[in-house]
Structure 1
Amino acid sequence: MSNSTKTVITCGLLTDDEHFRCQIEQLFNETDILSLLEVHQSPLEADMSKTIKTLDVLFIDVDLPYISGFDWFESLRTEQLCVFISDDASHAVKAFDYNSIDFFLKPLTMKKFYKSVLKIRERYRATYFSKSQRKQRTSLFIRSDNRIYKINYDDILYIESQNNYIQIVTQDNKYSTLMKLKDVQQVLPKSDFIKIQKSFIINMNYVTAIEGNSVIINNVLINISRSLKKDVIDSFTQGHLM
């Protein structure tokens, strides 16, 4: 079923708190907007799931053994929607640093849960509408040197962050504009573009080789972050490296 016709938002829960798990499962049973498809008691168990990244929303307990819920979610390298859970209110600020839809302070009430369900539904609709629009776009518009330029995605070789500016490098030109790298990354098609370090996004279609810890694009060597190297290679080879 396509996202445009989907009526149930699929969810996963990660918590080692048995009492809270029972409580929230009962609350899920009271709504037909959300469907709780996966429940995991540890990060290791969740990591073994082959479908965890296909779920629409993840409910994550911050207070996990060995690793915090924040660190586990960051390790997923996913754009999934999330809600963080804790019995410590001081975690709320950090939760929203991760663009969390909501923060659940234990114990959870039905009123709070229902308000969150409505927030999730609205964010879900906005997120998937945005993704649908993004798939249809083939170019972006930027302001540079007192002009507005249309740049086709297919023409972009790579994008470099330079403090509060980015430089977009195409086959024929370079454009500097006031924008953050993370903002331009949101509008680029993920099938073609990948972030290889904190300052560079590259168009994978123009990579001619990977040499050591660098990619080569148009005879330019760009370093790959050590922490991202495996993800970068997997993106190119799709797991079929000979």
Structure 2
Amino acid sequence: MEKVSCLIIEDEKPAQEILRTFVGKTDWLVLQGVFNDAVEALEYLRNHQVDLLFLDIQLPSLTGLQFLRTLQDPPAVIITTAYSEYALDAFELHVLDYLKKPFSFDRFLKAVNRYPALAANGDNKEVATGNQTFGFFNVNKTMKKVMFDDLLYVESMREYIYLHTNKGRVITKMSTHEIEEILGEKFLRIHRSFIVNVDKITAFNAEEIFIDVKNIPIGISYKKQVDEVLRKHAF
């Protein structure tokens, strides 16, 4: 396969050395630099193209997540951290994977092996636009087809999403932002953790949306958008 360029952004020397070793054992990864500080890495990225970042969260000057939010067109990112509590925020920033220290070489390989699928438009995407009628989703290494007309709502559970359909539930590893980009205009984000199929809504009020007997909360920051969409159909 083609070589993949990468950077390590990590301020702890032992962690740097572990990542150097793991990258060195992976023949298709090419290490372009190691940085102790996110600001230094930011300067490098302004003048160099990189495919993949190994990014710690607790860094001087900027945290890893603050750094990631400054990038307009970030490379693929694998978080490497001793803390588990930032996982949800990290996946909402479209990170490729979240490695909790200490991690093994096997776990490292599992993370980096997600990159080729991402480079080929994603192992969870049959298409890259929101105008398609179905998609294939990775469920325990089997690509399962979901017809979007069958999809009732999407529920986020940390780094996984639950696709609730009228034929059952499909669980796959991706973020709500990623699935939101795949789905068409008839799907509406109503909460940090929920996207609903507007065609399947059976009732709503100021606080909740109902899909048959399921009631789904409307997030405070989404109320205006939800009201604008649904009031078009209210008489």
Residue 104 of structure 1: how far off its partner (Å): 1.1
Which structure has greater helix proportion?
A: 1
Q: Percent identity?
A: 20
Structure 2 segments unaligned to the other structure (5+ residues): 133-184, 189-235
Per-residue CA shift, 1:92-140, capped at 9, x if unaligned? 222111111101111121110111121122222325xx9xx98xx9xx9
Separation in structure 1 between the aligned mates of residue 131 and residue 24 of structure 2, nearest angstrom: 46
Instruction: Report the equivalent of 1:157.
Output: none
Contact 1:12 1:36 in 2 (8 A): yes
Q: Calculate the TM-score normalised by the size of structure 2.
A: 0.50
2:50 matches 1:55: yes
Aligned pairs for 1:91-110 within 5 A? 91-110=86-105
Q: Structure 1-normalised TM-score?
A: 0.49
Is 1:122 the counterpart of 2:122 in the alignment?
A: no
Report if the CA contact (8 A) 1:15-1:64 is conserved.
Answer: yes
Does the 8 Å contact 2:79/2:95 carry over to 1?
yes
Measured at CA, do residues 42 and 12 of structure 1 come closer, stay the same or move farther in structure 2, by a change above 3 Å? Answer: same
The letter for the 1-side match of 2:16 is: R
Secondary structure of 1:44's partner? Answer: helix
1:50 shift after superposition: 5.0
Residue aligned with 2:113, SS: helix
Shift of 1:79: 3.8
Against the structure 1 CA distance between its residues 30 and 81, is the aligned structure 2 distance closer, same or farther, given a 3 Å change threshold? same
| Distance (Å, rounded) in 2 between the aligned partners of 1:36 and 1:54 | 12
Q: How many angstroms apart in 1 are the aligned matches of 2:30 and 2:105?
A: 16
1:45 corresponds to which residue? 40
Report the CA distance shift for 1:87/1:50 in structure 2 as closer, same or farther (over 3 A): closer
SS of 1:78's equivalent in the other structure is coil
Out of 6, 9, 18, the position equivalent to 2:4 is 9
- Spell out the pairing of 1:11-30 with structure 2 (5 A cutoff): 11-30=6-25
Q: Secondary structure at the match of 1:121?
A: helix
Number of residue pairs matched by the alignment? 136
Is the CA contact (8 Å cut-off) linking 1:12 and 1:52 kept in structure 2?
Answer: no
In 1, the alpha carbon distance for the partners of 2:66 and 2:107 equals 25
Deviations 1:199-223 (A, max 9, x none): xxxxxxxxxxxxxxxxxxxxxxxxx
Please give the alpha-carbon distance, in whole angstroms, between the structure 2 residues aligned to 1:19 and 1:118.
23
- Please give the alpha-carbon distance, in whole angstroms, between the structure 1 residues aligned to 2:88 and 2:48: 25
CA distance in structure 1 between the partners assigned to 2:78 and 2:37 by the alignment = 17
Code of the aligned partner of 2:97? D
Root-mean-square deviation (Å): 3.0
Q: Deviations over 1:155-214 (max 9, x none)?
A: xxxxxxxxxxxxxxxxxxxxxx6477xxxxxxxxxxxxxxxxxxxxxxxxxxxxxxxxxx
Would you say the 8 A contact 1:7–1:33 is kept in 2? yes
- What is the one-letter code of the residue matched to 2:38? P
After TM superposition, give the deviation of residue 80 of structure 1 in Å.
1.9
Q: Assess if the C-alpha contact under 8 Å between 2:68 and 2:74 holds in 1.
A: no
Deviation of 1:89 after TM superposition, in Å, equals 1.2
1:67 aligns with 2:80: no
The alpha carbon displacement at 1:44 in A equals 2.1
Q: Work out which of the residue numbers 80, 85, 94 in structure 2 matches 1:85.
A: 80
TM alignment of 1:1-242, pairs within 5 A: 7-50=2-45, 54-126=49-121, 178=186
